Structure 1
């Protein structure tokens, strides 16, 4: 008989339409190519075989031809001519089947001809799961509307506190619904955004195992922070949400956020630092010592008079520019001049003399 469609779906030869549908759903969820990015070619081949088996066995006419004459006759479209009449019940049964197919023939002049029209595997998948996921029984919920953050065990969790679900979104070209992305804030220190870093994020989500049952998979995702990335940068891990019947799992998206820094503030590609100096230092000069975000010691000499609100710009000591390797923004030092709260008569006199304020 060639290919054993019953064995492919793991059903017996008397399987009902409901049996076939259940078997197909279980296997299709395991072997759909979208769920097997690592061994996609193997999954595609198995998914097509599963779909073909369901296509044949769920169609009464195709199944009857396959049961009587096998895969070769089904696909070639050439049905053997009827055998001479016999008194046996088997022969009588054959005559009934032949009569049935003669009435469905494509070419009236050739009663042994049958046209085999295989259905597209994705069309079958969309039909089986789509009808249920639109509200029918067994379609499976979306499993959570968003990402809540880390649980006490350090695992990333969905809005329901247990998984990475998502809400159904637009349909893909395959006919499956794509679940809306699950976004979560990824706090980063200014040092991490300056130098770049790698963060390991643990997630917990529902997946199908080889038997078609749900199980919880704990996985570590490595997020590589590039030097110079800004707040709002998104890092996407495709289809790392829950696996559910009839949908494409949600993408898991981490959104960079910037933690406050004790000394520096970011302004685009620039770094800004506020420095308070005394009136004397503003008039006579001072050396500013700063530790950069990558741990270097930076010395900034002040030789000119510093007026209140003045700003000194140090080129190329700001944040790295992520799209321009080797380039950085500026470091801007803003000064606040602290005036003395009071002066003695002697100090006033001295200042008048030094600053030329003679009467």
Structure 2
């Protein structure tokens, strides 16, 4: 670059090894004196920089120029990425862009909004922020013959529950929600009119997801319409139940004979496929069968830009299908059946003992 580079550390009067907290404190110390929105009557509480005996290369500059420099310096040094690039490549690399290991860093450009930097640090850009905001961003007012002139307050939000079937959650869908709201059809006449709101339900949307339509509530002359919020809830399903947001639970009834000898059955999925389930294990109490990736799509929170880019992207990450079993016991056994059952389990226990003795002998031989 043709012009001499600016030393941001010198601008904030800190060492290059200063921590982020030290840089922030240095900026705060200077900003409270240089901020153009400070209260003039309290200036006597601050000793001018020139009288501190700590003159710097900024001292000859006017307060307006110093104010601009400290905000630009903190915008760079207060950001870990900007600071690391500045430390390694200098101001030239910061403004011209550099190639980093994970991609190209585009040229940095200071936004020029000094009050934004100040506000990010102090959480309010001045002790008189409310007054200044009222001037630069005045509140919404109403003026009617009936009510005169006043400040419009916002109405309460309206929340409604929307029930989604698991099939709708599986594939995603579009819901057109019809609401009736008050509207001003003439200067003072109100009328209930039908209004349609469109909900784009992404595959895998979880219960509790909120869709907010800002200021779509009733219209009144003296108020700001409230928000209409739709809250997703699961509609009860005859076969499945959602668990852990993206898993599906399926319960299957089995007899004692099936639990001991094994069995095969089919599960119809939400998208009408038939899954063949083969159980060869002994189904003991608490036994579950997990079929990977046969649950609901995993819906991730994304910002608006990412959601638009991935709108047509196929979802490949799914939860699991969890199969639980309910035991069906016979309601009645004849005496002969009871005798046969006892004999069976007696033989079974004898066989178990023989196997245990044989295993013990083998271990002793080894």
TM-score of the aligned structures, taking structure 2 as reference length:
0.49
Normalized per residue, the structure richer in helix is 2
TM-score of the aligned structures, taking structure 1 as reference length:
0.49
